[in-house]
Amino acid sequence: YSVPDATRKRVVEVQNHPREIRIFEDRKLIAVHPVLDGRNQRRVNPSHRRLAQPRAATVAPPAGLEITRRSLGFYEAVGRRLAGSEVRP
């Protein structure tokens, strides 16, 4: 049975009830699962797993701030300069 990724301790309290499993950390309920029949069963609640939040495709700049579009060549030049290997044409 899964517990949230934010669970800090490796040892938790598990209570078996007739229809559900309750998992506690420091006496705080952190997960509830239906009882699984049989052995070697797994239950992972998708909400227990941290997923990278999708980034917004476009983000509006703060009011009054203009953002200049630059070519990839500009960023390549910046990278070379930072790396100490600027190549001048």
Position 63 scores a pLDDT of 74
Position 11 scores a pLDDT of 87
Q: pTM for the complete prediction? A: 0.53
d(CA 89, CA 80): 13
Q: pLDDT tens track of the chain, all 89 residues?
A: 899 888 888 889 999 999 999 999 999 999 999 999 888 888 888 888 876 566 656 666 677 777 778 888 988 888 888 888 655 55
Residue 76's SS3 state is helix
Domain boundaries, the chain: 1-49
Position 53 scores a pLDDT of 60
